Structure 1
């Protein structure tokens, strides 16, 4: 993984240095007043840039640009750079979106850099989201701020995403992407506003970023390989979560994740793996490292939950989770928990966790009494050095 970063950085600066076509969206009719529709201007700018024979740069200058759904679709003839200084503002009418707001598809060679912002204006949509009240019902796919599907060799840096109607960013079917110095913001009570969700993707880096939302700061779906999360500050939100996994047919393994030098403040969870019981097929989650992590007022700092049931109405007679968790290291995790159960590892009865390592853990309960740990169906956990709470030793 370490070799991806310098290669991508070189790619980023090479594109900037060799861009030969500059396309300013104002030249195509975009109006920076925040009220006139600039969707067509932005879409036309992309179409021209994507068709250019040499590297093109789209300029989004200072101002507020109201836009509806846009699709930046490739493949393009040459790499494309988008320099966003201004703010893109989403229209509020949900009927316009089928289903997302800003989507990048089938592109190899993309640079998107700020300091611009995208504002999903999600407050009205949040009141219509009933997924938390009834997890068994169909949850309408509200528009996400930005979707990267089948994108490769991309650098996304120094942009901000605000108040998405649903997930802020989705990465799907993609590879070799760096998210650097990203800021993602939504209120702590905004439903399903995950910061970055990644699935069916490989060689993704998220670094030096600040994410505070009403759901997971980063959520990780199936078939994610070689994901690195470095220097991310999370809060508010539900932490960094792998899963939920094991509920749907044809899900595939999650392999090779590193979460390092991150901090969590006032979050529901810290680092978490969650899988469903009674799943239709078996898959593996393996080779995970959670290292050098600071918790501050976190309700559940370290969690493996293989009886995941968000509605809390699941029957007691479900078959154990068929997801196998193996080779998970928790190293140098310190700070404070707002619940007494600071370490809560509940693995599958039929597929116990193997290769779990706890190395220098120091978590204190903010309330009265000592912090506690639970380890259920964890096969011979390896404890190194001082681990507090020590119940798993």
Structure 2
């Protein structure tokens, strides 16, 4: 997997350094790289000064392990800010400290954050307290996310690692024009709700050339996401790349323009998936999605549209069909192996059948006894092009 910052980013970065008038090392502000002394105030002061600088500023976090409590990098800043993360930021374990997240970036235009350093959420203790899988409603409380980017514009996040988050590793909300390039996200496959990147209410987001393995979705896509591109991502372990779940709440808005290409899924629960709630309150649309040039290796459910999504497994059979409308979805050149016999599982809404579904060169083998199968329910006139295996939807 490539881990090289694109040439245009390097050109921009070196130009940025050449014109920078302030360089800040957090050790000069009292940060201690021993992993035990609290360095939160030092890092916060470094950010405040960089954000207030009249010209471009850069913050260096050198080698070492820095214990950091909840911290807010808040703008707007007077000039763009670069953070060069070389060392490791370590989260405190006490959940009572977080209200609710760990590292947050807010209202910033022109952020560069690059590695090769790490953020370590130290999530193992929190995972044992997470009861969301046992009871989706009453016992599911928010835990701290490693990094939150809210109302951030024109940012480049590259070559950093996020490990062992207590909850989602990264959240992107209300943001635009952000590129995540050559990042690594890692948590054990059984760690609950440790989604790699969750993106919602955002546009023009790119995730590329990265390795993501967690206990939940590698990338999850929420409502009002427009023009999202995911490419060159290796996903596994985890639940795959998911659009949704959608349609549960009244205020949700359309998801438009998602491209997932040149990705691989290894030992994941799902591959590419769209999921919407039954009995939902909102008639939003999900449209213009492309999934192409994808390799599946021992994936339980490689291709999924699930408009009867029910994570608690206790939903009654008499719920209203999903009111989310799915249309113009292309699955192109998806090959590999499935660990379940149903390699293609398209279950759309009875009241809002899927339209404009295209299957083009699909070759999925069942890793077991018998042939792979496809299920297509409430899919209106699917378009099948070339070799499609399994071919039950033809």
TM-score (ref. length: structure 2): 0.97
Is the Cα contact below 8 Å between 1:356 and 1:382 reproduced in 2? Answer: yes
| Aligned 8 A contact 1:22 1:58 in 2 | yes
Q: CA deviation at 1:137?
A: 1.6
Q: Displacement of 1:116 after TM fit?
A: 0.3
* Deviation of 1:18 (Å): 2.4
Cα deviation per residue 1:248-286 (whole Å; 9 max; x = unaligned)? 111000000000000000000000000001111200000
Q: CA deviation at 1:136?
A: 2.4
- Offset, 1:14: 3.6
- My pick for the range that moved more, 380-389 or 131-140, is 131-140
2:348 pairs with 1:347: yes
**2:98 touches 2:144 (CA, 8 Å); kept in 1?**
yes
2:282 alignment counterpart = 281
Aligned with 2:48: secondary structure? Answer: helix
Given that residues 16 and 81 in structure 1 are in contact (C-alpha distance below 8 angstroms), is that contact kept between their aligned partners in structure 2? no
Indicate the residue corresponding to 1:224 in structure 2: 225
Residue of structure 1 equivalent to 2:78: 77
Cα distance between partner residues in 2 of 1:120 and 1:19: 31
Q: Which runs of 5+ in 1 are unaligned?
A: none
Matched with 1:25 is 26
| Distance across 1 between alignment mates of 2:40 and 2:225 | 33
Equivalent position of 1:86 in the other structure: 87
- Residue of structure 1 in register with 2:63 after alignment: 62
Counterpart of 2:163 in structure 1 is 162
Q: Which runs of 5+ in 2 are unaligned?
A: 1-5
Matched, 1:376 2:377: yes
| 1:12/1:155 contact within 8 Å kept | no
CA deviation map 1:110-133 (0-9, x unaligned): 000000000000000000000000
3-state SS, counterpart of residue 51 of structure 2: helix
Distance 2:280 2:268 in 1: 28
1:253 aligns with 2:267: no
How many positions carry a matched residue from both structures? 389
Counterparts of 1:184-223 in structure 2 under 5 Å?
Answer: 184-223=185-224
Q: SS state of the match for residue 307, structure 1?
A: strand
Instruction: Give me the whole-angstrom Cα distance separating, in 1, the residues matched to 2:253 and 2:7.
Output: 29
Indicate the residue corresponding to 1:148 in structure 2.
149
Alignment partner of 2:344: what SS? strand
- Tell me, yes or no, if structure 1 residue 111 matches structure 2 residue 112: yes
Q: 1:1-12 to 2 correspondence within 5 Å?
A: 11-12=12-13
Which position in structure 1 is the counterpart of 2:306?
305
CA offset digits 1:127-166 (Å, max 9, x no partner)? 0000000012252110000000000000000000000000
1:15 is displaced (CA, Å) by: 2.5
Separation (CA, whole Å) in 1 of partners of 2:16 and 2:133: 43
- Measure the CA separation in 2 of the matches of 1:320 and 1:12: 51
Query: Offset at 1:9?
Result: 6.6
TM-score using structure 1 length: 0.97
Which digits, 9 at most, give the CA deviation of each residue in 1:325-350, with x for residues without a partner? 00000000000000000000000000
Deviation at 1:16, TM superposition (A): 3.5
Q: Name the CA shift for 1:247/1:138 in 2 (closer, same or farther; >3 Å).
A: farther
Go from structure 1 to structure 2 and tell me whether the alpha carbon gap of 1:156 and 1:255 turns closer, same or farther (over 3 Å shift). same
Q: 1:68 to 1:378 in 2, by over 3 A?
A: same
Aligned to 1:174: 175
Give the Cα–Cα distance (whole angstroms) in 2 for the partners of residues 281 and 10 of structure 1. Answer: 45
Structure-1 residue corresponding to 2:3:
none
Contact 2:175 2:202 in 1 (8 A): yes
For the 8 Å contact 2:131–2:139, the answer to whether it is kept is: no
